[in-house]
Amino acid sequence: MTNYIINGGKKLKGEITVNASKNSAVALLLGALLNEGKTTLINIPKIEEVFRIIEILESIGVKTSWKGKSFEIIPPEKLKLEKLDIEAALKTRIMILLIGILAHKFKKFSLPFSGGCKLGRRTVAPHLYALENFGIKIKVKEGEYQISREKLTPAKNIVLYESGDTATENTILAASLIPGKTVIKFASANYQVQDLCHFLIGLGVKMEGVGSTTLAIHGVEKIVQDYSFQISEDPIEAMFFLTAAIITGSSILIKRCPLDFLELELYKLEKMGFKYKVINEYVSENGFARLADIKTMSSNLTAPEEKLYGRPYPGLNIDNLPFFVPIAAKAGGETLIHDWVYENRAIYYTELNRLGAKVDLADAHRVFVKGPTEFKAADITCLPALRPSAIILLSMLAAKGRSELKNTYTIERGYEDICGRLRSIGADIERIKN
């Protein structure tokens, strides 16, 4: 376990570069199992969630190696699923994607329930409903999924029960190695889904509708090639640093922000009074991600007239919604934030009250945030969810005095060397082992 000691209330300065996407990285690490050749993922973040996926891969016989910030994956001729690292599997929810992948390798297998953030009842029904269209049968037993199939067939019309990111990814992965055309409707078009699509296109899977909610996938019988792919930058990490600048009243330069997945957030912030400049726009080395360098300026914020809520892309990103809680706390007036997706996450927001915020819980999905707030120092234990824990850390940066954030594994699941990177832009933060 590690703790962070933060001496807050200081202005940030300098520049910071956004890392590659956590959610893309973990899906692509697993998606590489579809390729019987060597896959190299470039610019992969060194975070705990990635380490758990690597432990899972290595436990079933996959050869892996780091080459700087790149990571090589070479699957064995036959995966040793009976040796799956259960402890690692229980710590990450993304391993549910193994269903759509391993259905191509085994006619019958079982997987333990996946873990990750504790955000209430996160149903797997959309995955099950989608995959059954291919002939995959999934039984949910106590503590595990039992999967079986006979011949896999393409599906002409899959209507996703909800436009979930991982449900869409699972369906894409299953369809990619089934020769013929599969059509997925009400698909997520979020950044990690687009990364997965571009990754598979590079491996020879033809697709139409990438970036839209209707995807046509022309599956192939086999993929065997040595292939390199550069992961796109993380819009959620970009929002983390934007929030850090906003609530500390700081001017910093945030480089390599994925603009297509931040434009609505920036527009809503602009309407709240946030001042910033887009210094430069360019395309990532992977050839499709539109990036920008954003210069923040100290701003006086006012509460928005309308409620803030997340929704599937192109709406305000569901993972970015929590960052608006400390931002709203710094704004004059009252903001209604409606987090309709998760049962518990809105409840977690009230932890900011221990740092001087005024967050009133209306129900399990809605909070009223009153500002402006002068955050105050406090000692808090990390919550069992990544983004709510991240906004506690950010609020501590804005709080004058010494705060201690305890048991920070949750944050390190999603952010690489966050203390060192925050120190590079002027934060007084130390990581200690307890």
Three-class SS of residue 234? coil
| 217 and 237 housed in the same domain | no
Q: What is the pLDDT of residue 153?
A: 97
Indicate if the pLDDT at residue 103 is higher than 80.
yes
Q: What is the pLDDT of residue 19?
A: 97
Query: What one-character DSSP code corresponds to residue 69?
Result: T
Q: Which of 230, 261, 290 is the last residue of a domain?
A: 230
| 128 and 242 housed in the same domain | no
Q: Are 29 and 73 in contact (CB under 8 A)?
A: yes
| 152 and 239 housed in the same domain | no
Q: What is the pLDDT of residue 119?
A: 44
> What is the mean pLDDT of the segment spanning 284-301?
97
In terms of residue numbers, what domain contains 286? 2-19+233-433
Whose CA is closest to 146, among 108, 176, 117? 108
Q: What is the pLDDT of residue 248?
A: 98
> What is the mean pLDDT of the segment spanning 327-349?
95
Q: Which of 213, 230, 247 is the last residue of a domain?
A: 230
Q: Note the pLDDT tens digit of each residue in 388-432.
A: 999 999 999 999 999 999 999 999 999 999 999 999 999 999 999
| 64 and 129 housed in the same domain | yes
Q: What is the pLDDT of residue 408?
A: 98
Indicate if the pLDDT at residue 1 is higher than 90.
no
Q: What is the pLDDT of residue 114?
A: 67
Q: What is the pLDDT of residue 122?
A: 55
Q: In 10 A of CB 12, how many CB atoms?
A: 20
Indicate if the pLDDT at residue 173 is higher than 70.
yes
Q: Note the pLDDT tens digit of each residue in 108-139.
A: 999 987 655 554 555 788 999 999 999 999 98
| 128 and 26 housed in the same domain | yes
Q: Note the pLDDT tens digit of each residue in 33-60.
A: 999 999 999 999 999 999 999 999 999 9
Q: Note the pLDDT tens digit of each residue in 271-282.
A: 999 999 999 999
| 189 and 54 housed in the same domain | yes
| 334 and 245 housed in the same domain | yes
Angle at 123 between CA 117 and CA 124, to 5 degrees: 100
- DSSP annotation string for 132-151: GGGTEEEEEETTEEEEEESS
| 348 and 369 housed in the same domain | yes
| 202 and 349 housed in the same domain | no
| 302 and 201 housed in the same domain | no
> What is the mean pLDDT of the segment spanning 374-378?
98
| 114 and 63 housed in the same domain | yes
The Cα 298–Cα 209 span in angstroms is 40
Indicate if the pLDDT at residue 343 is higher than 90.
no
Q: At what angle do helices 165-176 and 191-202 cross, to 10 degrees?
A: 10
- 217 pLDDT band (50/70/90 cuts)? very high
Query: What sign for the dihedral angle of Cα 126, 198, 416, 326?
Result: negative
List the CATH number of the domain containing 309: 3.65.10.10
> Total structural domains in the chain?
2
| 204 and 238 housed in the same domain | no
Q: Which of 202, 230, 258 is the last residue of a domain?
A: 230
Question: Strands 401-406 and 379-381: what pairing?
Answer: parallel
